[in-house]
Amino acid sequence: MIIDFSQSIEELSFSADLKHINLYVDELAHKGEATLQSSGSTGKPKSITFTANQVKASVERTMKALGVEGGSAALVLPPETTGGRMLLYRALLYKMRLHIYKPSIVFNDMAPVDLISVTPAQWQSNKSFLSKCAKVLIGGGVLDEGGVFPEHVFHSYGMTETLSNVALMQPAKERVFKALAGVRFSLSEQNTLVIHDRVLGINGLVTNDVVELIDEHRFVFVRRADKVINSGGVKIHIKDWYDAWNDLSDIEVQLVGMADKQFGEVPVLLVLETSDVFKVQKNIKQLPKHWHPKRLFVVSQWAYTTSGKPKIFLYPEDISELASLIIDLKK
């Protein structure tokens, strides 16, 4: 499906399949606002409403930084998400031809475009196709540290609270995020990033991301400070996961994150050798699909930090020390 935004909005016709797109366009064009649902980067998910002027300012500075002035775009993210909605608004405000596809990890029968926004998992699964697009914007997760990226690929840093991007990185050149126009950064007492955005009127937004601050316009992402696993842009709040698990089972488990080339991070589950592993696997199937751990590690003891706190992220050396059996749950 294609929407040609070079036409006036009044001349556009939306099929029943694009009813939600029509609502988002109408909200911005006629109500002068946009309401987005946060994914929980800085707290519990919530609805946030921005003015049309704020949306326009955010769109313009991102497009300027990418060097995109128009042409064609592809929507392969759910339009309900911030990444999908902002791609829609970029196409709308820059009068682009927008190709709309059903969100999927693997792309089929798609034509190269001037601009496309994807998750880390979509990048990993479609490198050949995405190499033919003029500009690729990756958001919603952590990139593979050893990955090779062409110069037309950008990694974005932002969240719903900042109306999408406040910084961009070109991983082909360096793994440093650089502030967009009107943005500067500082650090909290916990070494987490604090965002100041003159354009959007944001002053002192404290994030949950631990960073290495180079100066007020550049930083290197280190890790999340809170108990959240960001798997391909889907944020799994560990407390919420445990609440659901405890309603299903009385078997004690430990949920942790692990680095993954396709999704950036994935949830994995530790279970003691003395537990009923078969029952654990049955209980997992009752959880929401996006909460399913990708692997099950049978261990003799839980994973703790040197200060005695439960770990929320595992490294390869942790696994070799802990796991006596690894069960792959991806299939």
The greatest distance separating any two alpha carbons of the chain, rounded to the nearest whole angstrom, comes to 66
pLDDT at 171 over 60: yes
Q: Which residues contact 189 (CB under 8 A, 6 or more apart)?
A: none
User: Which of residues 154 and 15 earns the better pLDDT score?
Assistant: 154
Q: pLDDT above 70 covers what percent of the chain?
A: 94
Question: Given this model, what pLDDT does residue 319 score?
Answer: 73
Q: What integer best gives the mean pLDDT of the chain?
A: 87
User: Which of residues 200 and 17 earns the better pLDDT score?
Assistant: 200
Kindly report, residue by residue over 218-264, the tens digit of the pLDDT: 999 987 776 778 887 788 888 888 889 999 999 999 998 888 888 88
**DSSP for 224-292, written as a single string:** ESSSEEEETTEEEEHHHHHHHHHHH--S-EEEEEEEETTTEEEEEEEEETTS-HHHHHHHHTTS-GGG-
Contact 308, 279 (CB under 8 A): no
324 pLDDT band, cuts 50/70/90, is low
pTM confidence score:
0.74
Q: Which residues contact 223 (CB under 8 A, 6 or more apart)?
A: 209, 210, 313
For residue 210, what are its two tokens?
Answer: 């631990």
Question: Given this model, what pLDDT does residue 307 score?
Answer: 46
pLDDT at 155 over 90: yes
Rounded Cα–Cα distance for residues 260 and 328 (Å) = 14
For residue 236, what are its two tokens?
Answer: 């799994």
* CA of residue 311 relative to chain centroid, distance: 22
Q: Sign of the CA dihedral 242, 79, 209, 207? A: negative
Which residue ranges form the domains of the chain, and what is each CATH number? 2-224 (3.40.50.12780), 228-328 (3.30.300.30)
283 pLDDT band, cuts 50/70/90, is very high
Q: Which amino acid does the sequence have at 58?
A: S
Tokens 């128009």 belong to residue: 70
Question: Given this model, what pLDDT does residue 151 score?
Answer: 95
pLDDT at 216 over 70: yes
Quick one: which of 281, 263, 291 has its CA closest to 325? 281
pLDDT at 180 over 90: yes
Rounded Cα–Cα distance for residues 210 and 60 (Å) = 28
Rounded Cα–Cα distance for residues 40 and 208 (Å) = 10
Q: Which amino acid does the sequence have at 235?
A: K
Question: Given this model, what pLDDT does residue 94 score?
Answer: 96
